[in-house]
Amino acid sequence: MIAARSLSLLLLLAGFVIWSSAFIALYAGLSVGCAFGWDQAGFGPVSLLRALLVGIWLLHLLMLGALWLACRRRARQSGEAEPDRFLAAAALTASIAAVVVTLVNYAPILNLTICL
């Protein structure tokens, strides 16, 4: 029972840990890419820097999607104890919020000017 609650607490935090990881990775990628001129290098129809940033973003969205599925499965399998059900539902809600925030916050990398 204690291990189940500990896992639910970890799942509760995991979505926004992944979101903050995306922030750090995108910020670092942008800084390094602008410093080395990757915004001028072509990579198919887009610049190398934009392809890198979109790749980082999509990787984090995939991780959040996997987390969402794990939280949904956990919410369905939560035990009879009220704290377990509450934590599982809270973790599911937090993972959904993390997906939405990651989509909204980082979507501008798709078409805004990258390096000034």
- Residues 9-63 pLDDT 10s: 899 999 999 999 999 999 999 999 999 999 999 999 999 999 999 999 999 999 9
The answer to whether residue 116 is domain-embedded is: no
Give the per-residue pLDDT at 4. Answer: 64
Q: What is the span of the domain harbouring residue 56?
A: 2-110
pLDDT at residue 1 greater than cutoff 70: no
Does 100 fall in a domain?
Answer: yes
What is the residue whose two structure tokens read 């959040």?
64
pLDDT recorded at residue 80 = 64
Nearest CA to 21 among 63, 66, 54? 63
Does residue 73 belong to any structural domain of this protein?
yes
What pLDDT score was predicted for residue 24? 98
In this structure, is residue 115 part of a structural domain?
no
Interval 67-89: pLDDT, tens: 999 999 888 886 667 777 888 88
Alpha helix (H) residue ranges in 36-111: 48-77, 82-106
Q: Residue 2: what pLDDT?
A: 60
Residue 47, pLDDT score? 94
**Backbone phi and psi for residue 42, each to the nearest 5 degrees, phi listed first:** -80, 145
Q: Is residue 77 part of a domain?
A: yes
Residue 20 lies in a domain: yes
Query: In angstroms, rounded to a whole number, what is the distance separating the alpha carbons of residues 112 and 7?
Result: 39
- The number of distinct structural domains making up the chain is 1
* Residue 102, token pair as written in the block: 């990651």
23 lies in some domain: yes
User: What is the pLDDT at residue 39?
Assistant: 93
